[in-house]
Amino acid sequence: MSQHVATRRLTAPEITARKGREPIVSLTSYHAHTAAIADKYVDFLLVGDSLGMVMHGFESTLPVPLELMILHGRAVMRGAKHALVVVDMPFGSYEESPQQAFRNAALVMKETQCGAIKLEGGKRMAETIRFLTERGIPVMAHIGLTPQSINILGGFKTQGRTREQWAIIEEDAQAVTEAGAFAVVLEAIAEPLAAKITKSIPIPTIGIGASPACDGQILVMEDMLGLSPRVPKFVKEFGKVGAAIEGAIRMYAEDVRSRAFPGPENTYEMKD
């Protein structure tokens, strides 16, 4: 299915029902215009807290406030008409208690009208995931490399590269599934482990640096468009948009300096 004919928006249960079927396509999106373009081709759009790094120049996702996620979530909802829109819960907005998580997740869903939220963490977040899903908030889980925990992990490090690490990651996958998550992101996890987890749980796995065997794939849109200066190994650049933007700006600057722009076709004449 290359292009959708949008009639209505996809829901979290419909994503869950795609387990083991046609691969689920997703991207991050932070603005109305990219959401509108991607909406024709993807199943869900993630308003990722990666926007802190991609759009706002932070060194990690940690400084992103809830207000920023809501602002960008609204923009993406205006642009997308078909895709399920999932909004990331930023660092500090859900970890303290299930009650804090519910209060902030409910605010995100009310303010943006998105269809689900995403939060990071496996076993330690299972109680919170259960608390939210029992109260009407669909939750996408996120295990493996969890960027909000980079200060504990010691940086952006691939997970599950040795067999000793497998059990804890597999336990995380089981825990979020049993807690009621409708899907789980597997980030930067050794390929054989990601494939094994995908087979072992009944909810869709969404890979980012994981395995082609995952039920779906996600990338940061700016990374795959060639807009990011440095990208992880797991990114394939499907476009060279950064180079195209730079070329256009260079030509514009040259035309302004040589007075070639604006030309007669770009200016207004007097009306007699």
Residues 6+ apart with CB under 8 A from 207: 185, 186, 194, 214, 216, 217, 218
Given the residues 120, 170, 187, 222, select the one marked as catalytic: 187
Q: Where are the alpha helices (DSSP H) in the chain?
A: 12-16, 32-38, 51-54, 66-79, 98-112, 126-133, 150-153, 166-179, 191-200, 221-224, 241-257
49-52 contacts, C-beta under 8 A, 24 or more apart: 49/88, 49/89, 49/90, 49/91, 49/147, 49/148, 50/88, 50/147, 50/220, 52/90
Report the distance separating Cα 163 and Cα 160, nearest Å: 7
C-alpha 226/C-alpha 51 separation (Å) is 16
187 catalytically annotated: yes
Measured distance CA(21)–CA(181) in Å, rounded: 18
Contacts of 16 (CB under 8 A, 6+ apart): 182, 183, 203, 204
Place of tokens 């795959």: 224
CA 202-205-209 angle, 5° bins: 155
Distances (CA, A) of 269 to 91, 255, 261: 55, 21, 16
Residue positions annotated with a catalytic role: 187
